[in-house]
Chain A
Amino acid sequence: MINKLRQNYQLSNVLIRMAFVLTYVFYAWHEYIASAYVVSNLNGVTVALNDSVIVATAILASLLLGIVLMFLVPVVTNLFLNTSRFYNVPRAEYALLAHSFCTLYFLFCGVLKLTYFVTPLLYNWGGVLFPFFTSLGCLIWFYHVTSKLYFNDLTRPYYFRNMAIVYFVLALVLEVLL
């Protein structure tokens, strides 16, 4: 199966992008349902939505943002490669790998987020720790794969340094400050 996919770039691209969007819905459904509840209870709006409408709204909204994110990933990876001056890396293939590791992140984190329903304590601690450790694991794996594929001993330190800088800045802003 994997070998067949490796021989068919177009099919891999389509399948990974679809998986990216679907796992994003799985990862983010809590937040979208919460947002739908907020919108339905806003002062002055008072829209009485039943549960099925709220679920449908949440799924559609998360699908929409999943698709937007899917198109944003290549933009971000291109920006990273351009600013880092890594001109010899195949952009589309690199973006495809980024998509697949984001898919893994959404999947693992989505599974962990189901534990919020065990106790509210896990919401508070898990809400910060789950994304942090899952993203760290996926990023290390992504680096391990891409550094072997596209970089040699001379260029690898620069790739590692730039990726580490981006990661630390994002982790500080997203996980600690926000």
Chain B
Amino acid sequence: MKKLCILLAILLLVCLLATCSVFASAESVSAETAPLDMQPFIEQLCELNGTNDGGQIRDFLLRQFRAVLGESNVIERYFADQEQNSGYNIEGFIDVASTEQCVVIGAHYDAVGEGANDNAAGIAVLFETMKLLYAQRGSLPCDILFVAFDLEEEGLVGSTRYVESQLHDKTETHGAIGNDDVLLMFNIDSIALGDNLYLMCENKHTDIADLILSHSDMLTEKPYAKGVYGELDSFGYGYYEAVQGSDHTPFRLNDIPTALFFSGNYGILGYSDGSGVMNTSSDTYSNLIAKNPDYAKRIDSVANTICDTLTDTDFATIAQNARKQLVNNRLTYNRWWPALVVLGVLVILAVFTWLYHRKLQKKAILGTGEVKSDKIFDKPQAEDIFSFDNTADGKNGKDTDDDLDGIFTFKK
């Protein structure tokens, strides 16, 4: 009996130790390999992008999103516009019962070629953020909408259609959402390559930008004054920023505060992606690993930053105020205002021109018609061509034949 008790005790001890070691190893694996979990996700997404089969890509994303949020909280939303563009936005939802306000977190899933940086990495952030926020859904201040946009590369078609109609439609996952209910839109686009990870909220410092930056040691705020080339403003933002051609723009144009995460380099000429592969067939998974082996850290950093920002106790207050800090683009960046100033000056100028013309006409009636000024270019004078002999003087005031030879001579 005693031996049996000792044996049982040993067995219990072994079981206890084994259990502890399993938990310990599980913790260390999850801590060390959390970013690395993204590798197969991105690799598979790049592979599917390479096949250019939209159906397969959507199925893959739907499976992944539903695995996190549940079957009923993820839907695909079809859209078609008058220009024969059609596609599917994929939407996931975390419902917080106490509020009707929400935050949209988005990234586009369409790509040129494999699109490893643009934008499989962004979708990976979206997926990672989804997992983090779902785990903390009890402490969220508002509903969260996760949207994978289609047809960004075709001119922000998916996000534009989403803001115009799909956001406001009542669905099986959520009720109708107005623009005013959206506190903030996070957009993640091309974050893996380039030397710097940037955040852009507005063309000035805002409280929401400060809050987001306070939760990241990798992010820097976009330098606002660089890359200003107005001719390229194809999205109606009022002025050009090279990275504004992304899915947050339709939201911002509807006065919804936005925060864009992107990477690259800003130089004196403006923005470049820092790798030269954006929107080319060279934006492959192998190039991504070759150019930035630590890309997973960026994915992890952006996901954690979004999660920490949303769970910050100050977020609700600052986000409520974010709309008031938006620059009024229609007033400030509307080209018609300076054009109206010019028109006003022209009208005043026309009056003065008319008065001055009258004055000139009066002067013409009383004037002499003489030109009083010198010519602009000098013409040679006689002194420049000839030399005059002022000393030659003949008898009785008359020049002799000898004297005449000395009156003037041609200069050599």
Contact = CB atoms under 8 A, between A and B. Distances in A.
A117 B226 CA distance: 6
A46 B282 CA distance: 11
A149 B375 contact: yes
B277 interface: yes
B280 A51 contact: no
Interface in A110-150: 116-121, 123-125, 127-129, 132, 136, 148-150
Nearest to B338: A128
B346 A176 contact: yes
A124 B279 contact: no
Contacts of B224: 119-120
Interface in A142-178: 148-154, 156-157, 160-161, 164, 168, 171-172, 175-176
Contacts of B339: 128, 175-176
Given A51-B272, A153-B367, A157-B361, A132 B342 contact: yes
Contacts of A176: 339, 342-343, 346
A49 B239 CA distance: 23
A118 B83 CA distance: 39
Given A128-B342, A153-B367, A160 B230 contact: no
A134 to B, nearest CB: 12
A30 interface: yes
B228 interface: yes
A152 B370 contact: yes
B15 to A, nearest CB: 61
B377 A172 contact: no
Interface centre among A9, A54, A128 (most CB of B within 10 A): A128
A93 B379 CA distance: 13
Interface stretch (A18-26, A32-40, A60-68, A76-84): A32-40
A151 B372 CA distance: 9
B364 interface: yes
Given A38-B231, A124-B338, A168-B350, A97 B225 contact: no
Nearest to B359: A157
Do most interface residues of chain A lie in helix, strand or loop, or is the interface mixed? helix
A37 B232 contact: yes
Nearest to A36: B269
B269 A124 contact: no
A50 B276 contact: yes
A160 B360 contact: yes
B280 A124 contact: no
A161 B359 CA distance: 12
B377 A9 contact: yes
A113 B2 CA distance: 95
A33 B371 contact: no
Contacts, number: 138
Interface string B217-258: 000000011101111100000111110000000000000000
Of A41, A136, A153, which is in contact with the most chain B CB atoms at under 10 Å from its CB? Answer: A153
A55 B230 CA distance: 17
A121 B333 contact: yes
Given A153-B363, A154-B369, A35 B276 contact: no
A25 B184 CA distance: 43
A123 B249 CA distance: 20
B206 to A, nearest CB: 15
Contacts of B228: 116-117, 120, 123
B269 A51 contact: yes
A148 B370 CA distance: 11
Nearest to B240: A34
A149 B373 contact: yes
B382 interface: no
A120 B232 contact: no
Contacts of A175: 339, 342
B367 A127 contact: no
A30 B226 CA distance: 12
Which of B277, B337, B373 has the most A CB atoms < 10 Å from its CB? Answer: B373
Contact of B239 (A30, A54, A124, A171): A124
B55 interface: no
Contact of B345 (A132, A150, A160): A132
Given A124-B332, A153-B363, 9 more contacts: A9-B377, A54-B269, A124-B334, A124-B338, A127-B338, A152-B370, A152-B372, A164-B357, A172-B346
8 contacts: A9-B377, A55-B269, A121-B332, A124-B333, A128-B338, A152-B367, A154-B369, A157-B361
